[in-house]
Structure 1
Amino acid sequence: MFRNYVVIAFRNLWKHKLFSVINVVGLASGIMVCLLALIDIKGAFDYGNFHPHPERTYRILTDVTGNDNQTTAFATTPLPLADVLKREYGFVDQATRVIRDYAEFTVDRKILQESYCAVDPAFFTVLGYKLASGQPATEPNTAVLTPETAEKFFGLSNPIGKVIHHKELGEITVTGVFQPLPIRSHLRFSLVLSMSTLSTPDRKQQQTDWRQYAVGYTYVRLKEGTSVESFEKALPTIAARNTKDLRFKSEKGYTFRAQSMTTLSPSHEDLAMGTWEQTWGKLATEMGVGLVTLLLAVFNYVNLTLARSLSRAREVGIRKVSGAVRWQLMAQFMAESVVLSVLALGVAYLLLLLIEPMPFVQQWLIGGVELNGTMWAVFVGFSIAAGLLAGFVPARVLSGFRPAQVLRSQTGLKVFKGITLRKSLIVAQFSIALIAMIALLSMARQQNYMATADYGFRSENVLNIPLNDVPYQRLANELNRIPGVERVSATSELFGGHGGDWRPVRQQYSGGDSTRAFVFAVDQNFVANMDLTLLAGQNLPEMATDTNGEGSLGRFVLVNEEAVKAFRLGNPREMVGKPLWLGNTEVTIAGVLKDFRFTTFNWAIKPLVLSYQPRQFRYVNVKIASGAEASALADIQRIWKRLNPYDPFVGQWYNDFLYQRHSHEDDIDFMSLLTGLAFSIACLGLLGMVTYTTETRIKEVGIRKVMGAEVRQIIWLLSWDFVKLLLIAGAIAIPLGYLAGMAFLINFAYHVSIGFETLGGCIGLLLGLGGLTIGVRTYRAALSNPADSLRSE
């Protein structure tokens, strides 16, 4: 019997090819989004599978209680904790610490900023990151590189035994290279240093200070047979014993607890100083988006199947007269929906392969996850469940037709007494799609605004060149000789990014009046090159540096208006000549600059200090005359090749830098895909609704045409009810979409507004797509021959 159901299902699907294709594509779109979410959920449980003995390995968390009695969970701990656990508790097999940070490393005159972890020797055995060659980094000033970092630093040559340089840590010898790191890992780094390499006074002080709980991570592996309860009981005792004599500034204290590596991902809580593990909230959001998309597709299946109900009514009547009971008819219709859903699964997989290369999909959803037999079983089970869900309502309705009614005549046959439910589904579909589109367009406009806005400094015809250890003055002298080059300046960071060195600046050396400010190192040409405006005072003076590379130039700084407000030193003119302390160095304010936006638009303008520190220069800014860009660029590349033949030229126009930094095209493309799917599914649902209504009113159309109605009048008659649904959807979606867009934009100190250009454009697209869908179907109905529809009663 089941075989007959399947055969009949395929026959019906083949007979109604258009409806079958529409249903398959609609369900495939929804299933594809759900598959993406299922893959990411599966990947979330794969985190840490490569760690040896995860069942008895734990990460220690710190629960910090503030003065307001609010508790915040940190993934980090004080660094002395690991030594105490290993020294005083016999059930601890091994313990290791991990410190994450970013730093600049110099290799063969190349300056590269990389993420690194400083670790204890036990790191390699406790967490199980395997080496492809060489030895672990256990001695002072040693490091192990990832394969990608090794190639970036040393090309294809063997990196073991070679040296990388760090301005504070000195020379670091490479002792090994990791195997390719697991993609699904809660720790991500470019290289690993031995903990003993961090030998600066500040770093040594951190390793004994119980007050600093946000520095590093502590991992512990227990001995076999150890009771977890005894370990968990010991942690609060350790915290109480080592903090009883400590005084905190804004905390009452803290305690420790253990987090098993088997439950690290998905995480049940958001941890301060967290790592890269997945969270249940993110997974639930992804699955929610997938289910909503699938639900829209299910609505379509219901609408399209019921639209075909008139053509299936006689079939139901004949089957019932022949002795079929209702459950058999329901089984037949459910089998059709399941077959359709399984076909949709195949199409969904093809769509998945099509979008898999998208960077966003690779980075967040698919990367590192293998589709094994279990995953395919889940996919098939999910598609069958989706088919049963989609087919239940049509099967219930169609199997309920009465034979006497459907065999006598189909005239007046109604699937529902009213179609309010189906109209509501159409309104819901288009409302959801329109809300998503308004939010997406708001995001896209904000990203474009950040990428192309006027930041208040010059970005036109300015070429940024990373120095990569090329002497700045030598390069500047060469560049100034090139025809078309108007001015050359230097800076430590590029404006328009995420800021420079965010550090405390004081008015007095020992005072408690420090204010945090962004500190950039620039030269005396920078202000003119960037078209910055001096409100008071003068530019950095032009003087030669001394043998230390600082000179008197390093004793003068420029600040912005926001810094004047932060230090409460009056107006800009009163600020000039006042002293400030940058760390242990006293400087004098030479001038005050007009405020401009030098960081991301997430933040309001912050205090800014520009100082002359030649050792920190990392970029050259070359201002080129209009019309001379091509010739000047060719000359610059030739000079670069002569001065630095080992590094490729990676100069970038300032406008291109701002656009790439803020446009986030990959994310917008992926969200556009989801929004496009939602609108496509909604239009398919509208098509089903229009098809159903025109078929039930076909005799009415025939009569009206016989009575002299014109085609345009009939089109308007059939379309108006659907246009009203679109307008209702628009009325619902506009305020909700506005709120959704503002929920995103409110995160930015400077953002676009949501006005007619956003709302009007989305409504126009809604009416355009919906009107096209309605118009095509009603136009065909209006052109039908009245003789065909009125031939029989």
Structure 2
Amino acid sequence: MLKNYFKIAFRNLWKNKTYSTINILGLTLGITCSSLLFMLVIDELSFDNMYEKKDRLYRLVEINSTSEETRQFGIVPGPTGKVLSEEYEEIEDYTRLYKFGGQIVFQHNEEPYQERAYYFAEPNFFELFNLEWIAGDPATALQKPFAVVIDEEWAMRLFGSTDVLGKTLDSGGETDFLVTGVIKKLPQNSHIQYKILVGLPTDWDFYKEISTSWDRYGAYTYLLLKENAKPESIHQKMEGFVANHFKNPQEHDFYLQALPDIHFNSAAIEYTSDTNRGEITYVYIYIAIGFFMLLIACINYMNLATAKALDRGKEIGIRKVSGAYQYQLISQFLSESTLFAFIAFFLSFFLIDLLLPTFNGLTDKQFEFNVATFGSIFMLISSITIIVGLLSGSYPAVLMSRLKPASILKGAMHTGKGSILLRKVLVSTQFTLSVIMIIATLIAYRQLEYIQDVPLGFENEQMLIVDINNGDVRERFETIKTEFAKSPYVEGVAVSSRVPGEWKSIAEVYTKNFGSADSIKMNYIGFDADMIDLYKMEMLKGENFSGNNAVDSLHVIINETAAKALNLQEPIGKFLSLTDDGTEQQLQIAGVVKDFNFQSLHNKVGPMILGFRSNVFQSIDYFSLKFNAEHTEEVLAHAESVHHLFDAHSSMEYHFLDEQWAAFYKEDRRVSNVFSIGGGVTIFIACLGLFGLASFIIQQRTKEIGIRKVLGAEATSIIALLSKDFLKLILLATLIAVPISWFAMDKWLQDFAYRVDLSWWIFAIAGIAVMAIAFFTISFQSVKVALMNPVDSLKRE
């Protein structure tokens, strides 16, 4: 019997090629797009799942409270983990990671290499965080100071092979690095990302101090709890621990953050080891869009299948007269819908393989198409395909199996008011989802365009930022500035400790009016005398730094927000007291600069102190080169030559500032791209469904249209008559979609300190666009029947 069902299904598929193509296309797009989105969801939800002890691993986070604010830190004093493991029996083990400097630098074959994705790690690190090894022993690889474990990418880059155990890397100092292990490339969905791990320098005085001092922060600490131990029990005892080891216990508290929680729940934590934080809201968005697409694809199939099933009325009637049971007819229709779904399923494999590079580019992921990486998604989509097949075929199957044979054979096929209402609900649902997607796309696009156009308070284009990575360069920076400026394509050079659009941590100092008892924590950046002019920042009051080192080192410049926070109406000449880590200075305000965005537009401008480049709080870290964009390659070549002249030990590390600003909104652009593509696909599939329903209705009203034409009705009035009911449904869908999309997008925009308004015309454009697309789809069928000879219409059975 089943063989016969599929035989008939194949016959109908081949006989009705246009209908079959439209059906398969809609299902293929739905399955393909939802599969790609669910891949992204699975990846986001599987962060840190590769570690065998993930359920017992916790990151130690400090809650630091002062009278001004409460903050959370992902780094803690060095001895914290060790002492906790000694004092609490619930803790089985601990491990620590450190970073000593922004990057690690070494030479190989007289070529400099550097890497920021590195940590100094304790010998037991791999006991807690297991990985796949290519060479070496994870139990002993990090036991010796400066032993290094590198990933396969670095092994191939340096040596052209992964057989590198025992080889050394020149550090340019007294100690070389000994390669003791090679690991597989770290999975992208690990919150800790590194390419090099280095054995701790236990004989360094600096390490001895930072690992034992309760006043020095720097240890990324992870605790392994015993089986069935609860982190809450440790936190309940934390008050006594803090009282025993900290000078000001009221300022310190700690909690244990479960490893699976780190990816989505670290937004409020500063100074962390996780470089790729996630937004659970976006995961919900991806899930919703994926299901939207599947639902619309199913509705589309239902409408098309219903429309086409009417052409098979006599076949159904004859089968019923011949003794076919209702369940057999239902089985036949379900077998056909399942066949369509599985054809679409297999076609989607090829489409996924084709689209995967583009999808990786849009999402900044590294998905690969093979059985090993796609095993779980194959199972998921296989299950979804079966559900899609059964769901999409259920309505036409039940509907057609209930028709009375006598009515069918007489040509009086009536499906009832209930089915008509259901079809209207399905179409309204399709277009409600489509309108939501289009509105979301328009708002997301407008917000990201707005971000590009918001005045930042400085110029970030044509700005090359070159990192300063050693003390020799800092000491000779004035000579290097002069050399950089010798290029005819370099318009100016400045140095600073940080740049606007900084991705590293910005120094913070406690600031108060001289003689006042109340202080405010403010951001602090060191500028030289050329920085404000180079970035074209606007001085509102006072003067810029003069270039006289002795004078400038006694002054600071503040922004508008800082002046307001300090309640200074006339700030020029006033003295401020700045304090950080016990260091205090009294400095005079020389000028006030207009507020500029030194962080992404997700954040409001905070109070900022601009100190002179030579200060006790933060040393210079960057050269900024304003250059002619038409000669970018020449500028880079010149900068490389200058860098090599003064720092032959490391390669030049640089970036373009406008690209760094664009990187702040990478996740937002990813969501915007998903909205755009999802909106296009959903409206396309929805129009296929509308095409099917239009075919269904018009086929039922063919004789009515013929009679109207005989009585003198114009083609335009017939088109209007046939389109009216559909456009009412789409108008209803728009009215439903507007409040839903307004609520959702208003919540999304709250993540931006600077945001567009939800203007009414955005919703109007979306509604009009959908109405126009739908009217064109309906008209394709309506015009055809309106222009038909009424004689032919009345002859049709």
The two structures have a TM-score, normalised by structure 1, of: 0.83
Structure 2 distance, partners of 1:444, 1:285, is 16
Deviation at 1:749, TM superposition (A): 1.5
Structure 2 distance, partners of 1:747, 1:91, is 39
Deviation at 1:194, TM superposition (A): 4.0
**AA partner of residue 558 (structure 1):** I
- The CA deviation string for residues 294-330 of structure 1, in whole angstroms up to 9 with x for no partner, is 1121111111111123212211111000000101101
Query: 1:488 and 1:292, CA in 2 relative to 1: closer, same or farther beyond 3 A?
Result: same
**AA partner of residue 624 (structure 2):** N
Aligned to 2:694: 690
Structure 2 distance, partners of 1:207, 1:373, is 47
Structure 1 distance, partners of 2:197, 2:410, is 82
SS at match of 1:557: strand
Aligned to 1:249: 250
Query: 1:773 and 1:207, CA in 2 relative to 1: closer, same or farther beyond 3 A?
Result: farther
Deviation at 1:754, TM superposition (A): 2.5
Structure 1 distance, partners of 2:588, 2:194, is 40
Structure 2 distance, partners of 1:685, 1:392, is 16
**AA partner of residue 494 (structure 1):** V
The equivalences for 1:658-737 within 5 A come to 658-659=661-662, 661-662=664-665, 665-737=669-741
**AA partner of residue 181 (structure 1):** L
1:381 aligns with 2:383: yes
User: Is the CA contact (8 Å cut-off) linking 2:457 and 2:538 kept in structure 1?
Assistant: no
Aligned with residue 778 of structure 2, among 774, 780, 788: 774
User: Is the CA contact (8 Å cut-off) linking 1:521 and 1:611 kept in structure 2?
Assistant: yes
- The CA deviation string for residues 490-523 of structure 1, in whole angstroms up to 9 with x for no partner, is 3333324557614123338998644232322221
Aligned to 1:136: 141
Aligned to 2:336: 336
SS at match of 1:572: coil
SS at match of 2:11: helix
- The CA deviation string for residues 460-490 of structure 1, in whole angstroms up to 9 with x for no partner, is 5555455666654334323444446543323
Deviation at 1:113, TM superposition (A): 7.1
Aligned to 2:534: 529
Structure 1 distance, partners of 2:117, 2:534, is 32
Query: 1:652 and 1:429, CA in 2 relative to 1: closer, same or farther beyond 3 A?
Result: same
Aligned to 1:419: 420
**AA partner of residue 168 (structure 2):** G
User: Is the CA contact (8 Å cut-off) linking 1:355 and 1:361 kept in structure 2?
Assistant: no
- The CA deviation string for residues 263-317 of structure 1, in whole angstroms up to 9 with x for no partner, is x489998897595798988766544432232112111111111112321221111
SS at match of 2:424: helix
SS at match of 2:553: helix
Query: 1:650 and 1:216, CA in 2 relative to 1: closer, same or farther beyond 3 A?
Result: closer
1:406 aligns with 2:404: no
User: Is the CA contact (8 Å cut-off) linking 1:102 and 1:115 kept in structure 2?
Assistant: no
Aligned to 1:490: 495
Structure 1 distance, partners of 2:500, 2:319, is 75
User: Is the CA contact (8 Å cut-off) linking 2:62 and 2:75 kept in structure 1?
Assistant: no
User: Is the CA contact (8 Å cut-off) linking 2:78 and 2:219 kept in structure 1?
Assistant: yes
Deviation at 1:459, TM superposition (A): 3.9
Deviation at 1:678, TM superposition (A): 1.6
Q: Percent of aligned positions with the same letter in both sequences? A: 26
Deviation at 1:149, TM superposition (A): 5.8
The equivalences for 1:31-70 within 5 A come to 31-36=31-36, 38-39=38-39, 51=51, 54=53, 58-59=57-58
1:96 aligns with 2:95: yes
**AA partner of residue 435 (structure 1):** I
Deviation at 1:533, TM superposition (A): 2.1
Structure 1 distance, partners of 2:152, 2:515, is 47
The equivalences for 1:273-422 within 5 A come to 286-357=286-357, 358-359=359-360, 363=364, 366=367, 370-371=372-373, 376-410=378-412, 413-414=414-415, 416-417=417-418, 419-422=420-423
The equivalences for 1:548-567 within 5 A come to 553-567=552-566
**AA partner of residue 554 (structure 1):** S
1:161 aligns with 2:168: yes
Structure 2 distance, partners of 1:737, 1:27, is 25
Deviation at 1:373, TM superposition (A): 6.0
- The CA deviation string for residues 221-271 of structure 1, in whole angstroms up to 9 with x for no partner, is 76xxxxx347889846864653465764367x66769x6x8xx48999889
1:445 aligns with 2:452: no
User: Is the CA contact (8 Å cut-off) linking 2:155 and 2:182 kept in structure 1?
Assistant: no
**AA partner of residue 566 (structure 1):** A
Query: 1:372 and 1:668, CA in 2 relative to 1: closer, same or farther beyond 3 A?
Result: closer
**AA partner of residue 126 (structure 1):** L
**AA partner of residue 474 (structure 1):** T
Aligned with residue 759 of structure 2, among 752, 755, 759: 755
- The CA deviation string for residues 99-122 of structure 1, in whole angstroms up to 9 with x for no partner, is 589834455697967244443211
Query: 1:494 and 1:272, CA in 2 relative to 1: closer, same or farther beyond 3 A?
Result: closer
1:620 aligns with 2:619: no
User: Is the CA contact (8 Å cut-off) linking 1:498 and 1:600 kept in structure 2?
Assistant: no
User: Which range moved further: 186-195 or 230-239?
Assistant: 230-239
User: Which range moved further: 558-567 or 578-587?
Assistant: 578-587
Query: 1:581 and 1:242, CA in 2 relative to 1: closer, same or farther beyond 3 A?
Result: closer
SS at match of 2:747: helix
Structure 2 distance, partners of 1:301, 1:440, is 25
User: Which range moved further: 665-674 or 94-103?
Assistant: 94-103
User: Is the CA contact (8 Å cut-off) linking 1:683 and 1:770 kept in structure 2?
Assistant: yes
Query: 1:559 and 1:164, CA in 2 relative to 1: closer, same or farther beyond 3 A?
Result: farther
- The CA deviation string for residues 378-402 of structure 1, in whole angstroms up to 9 with x for no partner, is 4333311221111111111110000
**AA partner of residue 29 (structure 1):** L
Aligned to 1:473: 478
User: Is the CA contact (8 Å cut-off) linking 1:24 and 1:341 kept in structure 2?
Assistant: yes
User: Is the CA contact (8 Å cut-off) linking 1:43 and 1:368 kept in structure 2?
Assistant: no
Aligned to 2:578: 580
User: Which range moved further: 75-84 or 524-533?
Assistant: 75-84
Deviation at 1:3, TM superposition (A): 0.4
Aligned to 2:223: 219
The two structures have a TM-score, normalised by structure 2, of: 0.82
Structure 1 distance, partners of 2:554, 2:491, is 28
SS at match of 1:430: helix
Name stretches of at least 5 consecutive residues in structure 2 with no aligned partner. Answer: none
**AA partner of residue 353 (structure 1):** D
User: Which range moved further: 670-679 or 335-344?
Assistant: 670-679
Structure 2 distance, partners of 1:511, 1:197, is 44
1:543 aligns with 2:557: no
Query: 1:620 and 1:220, CA in 2 relative to 1: closer, same or farther beyond 3 A?
Result: closer
Deviation at 1:416, TM superposition (A): 3.9
Structure 2 distance, partners of 1:420, 1:648, is 70
Structure 2 distance, partners of 1:269, 1:534, is 40
Aligned to 1:568: 567
**AA partner of residue 128 (structure 1):** N
Structure 2 distance, partners of 1:463, 1:279, is 31
- The CA deviation string for residues 137-174 of structure 1, in whole angstroms up to 9 with x for no partner, is 334555544445677899999795335589xxx97846
Query: 1:268 and 1:524, CA in 2 relative to 1: closer, same or farther beyond 3 A?
Result: closer
**AA partner of residue 710 (structure 1):** E
1:6 aligns with 2:6: yes
CA RMSD after TM alignment? 4.4
Aligned to 1:642: 641
Deviation at 1:208, TM superposition (A): 6.1
Structure 2 distance, partners of 1:716, 1:372, is 49
**AA partner of residue 454 (structure 2):** A
Structure 1 distance, partners of 2:461, 2:47, is 45
Aligned to 1:434: 435
Deviation at 1:403, TM superposition (A): 0.5
**AA partner of residue 675 (structure 1):** G
Query: 1:443 and 1:606, CA in 2 relative to 1: closer, same or farther beyond 3 A?
Result: same
Aligned to 1:547: none
Structure 2 distance, partners of 1:609, 1:154, is 47
